[in-house]
Amino acid sequence: MTPMGILHRAIFMTTELSRRWRPRSLLQLVLLAFVVVMLPIAVLMFQAGQALSQLSTLADQSARQAVEETRRARMLSSLALQMERSARQYAVIEEEGLRDIYDQKVNQFGALLQQHEPLMGNNPDFQSLSKRFQRLRVLPPAPVKDMSGFLEGFSGFASESEAVRDDTNELIDARIADIRQQANSVKTRLWMQTAALVSASLILMLFFTWLITRPIRQLERRIFGLGSGDHSDVPTRIQGPAELVQLGDRLSWLSGRLSELEAQKQQFLRHMSHELKTPLASVREGTALLGDGVAGELNERQSEVVRLIDENGQELQTLIEQLLDYNLLQNSRRMKVTQFDIATVIQEVLSKHRLALDNKGMQVTSPHHPVMWQADRERTARILDNLISNAIAYGNDGGQLMIRTAQQRDELMLDVANSGDPIAEADRDHLFEAFYQGSARRKGPLKGSGIGLSVAADCAKLQDGQLALVEDAELPVCFRLTLPWANRPARVSQQDRAPHDDNDAAPGEPARSGEARKKTWSVR
């Protein structure tokens, strides 16, 4: 089996083990991780202690033996000289006391040779010294003339003792070198064991870190899903300590509960919008009949009251339609990508608000040069409709409404700016929250619903775009819509696009429009 196969099998077995075995608590898992990770280090410390103890014992024994063997070799050399001196003194003086001294030295020398034999039994110098010693072992009796041949045996006896001493030192040096080699071998083995066991500890540490962080990452993804409002995915069961598994179960319950509340909210909005539109249609139909004089001619005062009721009914219908748009946007996440002219969409949306613009006397500046773009036409129009409605509601009477387009690479920037009071700093962070009512007051008889900008921001986000409040050099309030070029399976060819000016795009890129021609018109 290849190393990769072994690694894959080990990972598979570890995964199966983690699935079948689950610690009872996070504390138990942490303590187990600590014990298991420390186990290889404890084994390493034990083996290092054993190796150091072995080396220490070997070094101590070798040192003792070296001292003893060196001392013994030195004593052999000294006794050899003393034996020769005693023999020569006996040959001259012939006293029995000197003979006793010689015998004593012989016994000492023989005992040392016998002790030294296990160390140097096969050494030639040692064997030669032993043979010579056997010949010199017994001192011949007087007269002196019989001693001359015996004394000649001492020639070279001292030198052979010195040779044995030198050979002993060489053996001791060789033994020390062997000990040094053993120490290096033990050190190498310890380094290899250290690398292996520390690697095992690191692998175990990573494994237990994964065991601990995996359920935490699962919980984190679950929490992000709850925060983003995505409850569609079936949550996987948390695998880990009991506390985290229990927390995962609580999050699953919370996800289900939030889904139920979301469904109830959507159902409430649908029912409320429907229930409001039904009587409102009757009210508007009645005011239309009264205005047409079906129930009889109305005087000027009565006509003014009917017109006021009709205008407020229309405003109420607009608010209800915004609620329906918000509800539809929350349930529908599909985009219908087409290529269209932004300027045409702007003019269509402006035409819907022409009467309100006439009443406010606002001066409108908008582009009329074709700007072809690929996006969701319906949602883009809805964004423009909400921004223009917002400008009409909060803009000054007789003020300005300016709509500008610009392109930068694959992004279209569309600005809707108007004159009026600047938006307060405290309201800027909450502008695009649903049902948020800022400190500014609408210039009209009805209060807004607070979902227009929220719907517009959601429509921009669904197209991977962005709607933001930006600073403008000309007007105090300016909203900027940034839309990317939306991809679709079949991109239109360059010939199918509308003509544009000298700032042509490369093939396959959206058209780069130049300075859009603007038409300024006054509304009274």
At residue 253, does pLDDT exceed 70?
Answer: yes
Percent of the chain whose predicted confidence (pLDDT) is above 70: 79
Inter-residue contact 463 to 379 (CB < 8 Å):
yes
Nearest to 482 by CA among 454, 510, 461: 461
At residue 490, does pLDDT exceed 50?
Answer: no
Q: How confident is the model at residue 346 (pLDDT cuts 50, 70, 90)?
A: very high
> 229-332: what fold?
Helix Hairpins (1.10.287)
Residue labelled with tokens 């220490």: 56
CA 234 vs CA 222, 253, 256, 263, 264: distances in Å: 10, 12, 10, 17, 20
At residue 480, does pLDDT exceed 90?
Answer: yes
Amino acid making up residue 419: S
CA 437 vs CA 19, 389, 427, 442: distances in Å: 51, 15, 9, 10
Q: How confident is the model at residue 344 (pLDDT cuts 50, 70, 90)?
A: very high
Instruction: Specify the DSSP class assigned to residue 2.
Output: -
At residue 447, does pLDDT exceed 90?
Answer: no
Q: How confident is the model at residue 510 (pLDDT cuts 50, 70, 90)?
A: very low
At residue 449, does pLDDT exceed 60?
Answer: no
At residue 416, does pLDDT exceed 90?
Answer: yes
Q: Say what the pLDDT of residue 347 is.
A: 92
Q: Say what the pLDDT of residue 494 is.
A: 38
Percent of the chain whose predicted confidence (pLDDT) is above 90: 9
Q: Say what the pLDDT of residue 479 is.
A: 93
Q: Where are the domains of the chain?
A: 22-222, 229-332, 336-521
Task: Please give the mean pLDDT across all residues of the chain.
Answer: 77
Decide which of 172 and 241 is more confident: 172
- Tell me which CATH code domain 336-521 carries: 3.30.565.10
Q: Could you give the CA distance from residue 505 to residue 498 in angstroms, rounded to a whole number?
A: 12
Q: Which residues 6+ apart lie within 8 Å of 90 measured at CB?
A: 98, 99, 102, 139, 147
Q: Model-level pTM?
A: 0.42
Cα dihedral: 135, 141, 146, 148 (round 10) = 60
At residue 440, does pLDDT exceed 80?
Answer: no
Q: What is the pLDDT of residues 181-208, one digit of tens each?
A: 888 888 888 888 888 888 888 888 888 7
Q: Say what the pLDDT of residue 496 is.
A: 39
Q: Which residues 6+ apart lie within 8 Å of 63 measured at CB?
A: none
